[in-house]
Structures are given as structure tokens and as C-alpha cells.
Amino acid sequence: MKLHHYIESGIIESYALGLATMSEIEELQHMRKLYPELNTEIRMVERRLEMVALTEGVMLPVRLKDRIFQRIDWEQQDRNTEKGNPSLTFINIESKNRDYITVHKWWKLFFIMTFIVSKVCLFAAIYFYLKYQQSKEKKTPHVEQHIPVK
């Protein structure tokens, strides 16, 4: 009798339409545990609403389906990437007939190092050349002193 009164109060319809408050929903869940037959009643109301809603459906714009399924695909790809299982494949769309080449970024460092080492070598060569010249100049007058005067 209590259950009948509860059902007739319109609580199921209120719940089905999303108008029930949190306390009403909690009460309904509690009643569902006490009276499992309440689930059948809820199912019947929701099925009735479903049948009516299906007959009153509004034609969907064709483009919507593509937009939704495209979004789902993107989200799926994002999730796969986050999981470290990327399903993306890198495609090089640059033409092969061009004046530039693509190299690894480490080559940049290698070229800088080579440039610096070559400069160091150049300065070292100049330095030692000048040193050699200086020492050669110092030796030359000493030799001249030993030249016999006629």
C-alpha cells in the first residue's frame, strides 16, 4: 500500500524527467532496495517516454554525424598518445626535389665545435709561426757576427 501510494505520487515521472531533487533521488534509491518491483515501474515509465520520444524525433543534419564521429576519433587518438601508444604516423609531405637537406639537430653542435676547433688551430698556427719567425730573427744577427770581414 505504501509502495502504491509512493508510485502514485509521481516521483518516478519526476525522476525520469530529471526534476527530482537530490533528497528525492536518495529516497528513491532507498525505496528501490526495499522494493525491487519499483525498478519494473521505473523501467515501464522510461520505456513509455522512450517510445514517445522515438516517434517524435527530429531529423538530424547530415553533417552532424561526421562531426561527432570525427571528434570521437580525435579523442581516441589523444588517449592513445597519452597512454604512450601513439597511433599517429609521421608523414613527410615535403617534396624531395628541393635545394635544402634535413639533418639531425646534433649536426648543428658538431658544426659549431668544428668551427671553434678550426679557429683555435688557425690561431695556434699563426702564433707558432710568429714565434718561429722571432726565434729565426734572433738567430740571424748572431750568425752575421761570425762572417769574416775582408
Q: Near another protein by CB under 8 A, which window of 70-78, 103-111, 130-138, 142-150?
A: 70-78
Q: Which is nearer to another protein, 55 or 95 (CB)?
A: 55
One-letter amino acid at 150 equals K
What are the distances in angstroms from CA 7 to CA 21, 44, 99, 120, 149? 16, 12, 80, 94, 140
- Within 5-24, the residues that bind another protein by CB under 8 A are 8-14, 16-19, 21
Nearest to 38 by CA among 4, 89, 81: 4
Nearest to 9 by CA among 33, 34, 32, 28: 28
Residue 3 CB partners (closer than 8 Å, separation 6+): 31, 35, 37, 38
Q: Near another protein by CB under 8 A, which window of 51-59, 90-98, 107-115, 125-133?
A: 51-59
69, 123, 128, 132: which one contacts another protein (CB under 8 A)?
A: 69
CA pair distance 57, 22, nearest whole angstrom? 30
Q: Which is nearer to another protein, 59 or 147 (CB)?
A: 59
- Within 76-135, the residues that bind another protein by CB under 8 A are 76
Q: Provide, rounded to whole angstroms, the least separation between the CB of residue 27 and another protein.
A: 13
Q: Provide, rounded to whole angstroms, the least separation between the CB of residue 53 and another protein.
A: 4
Q: Which is nearer to another protein, 9 or 118 (CB)?
A: 9
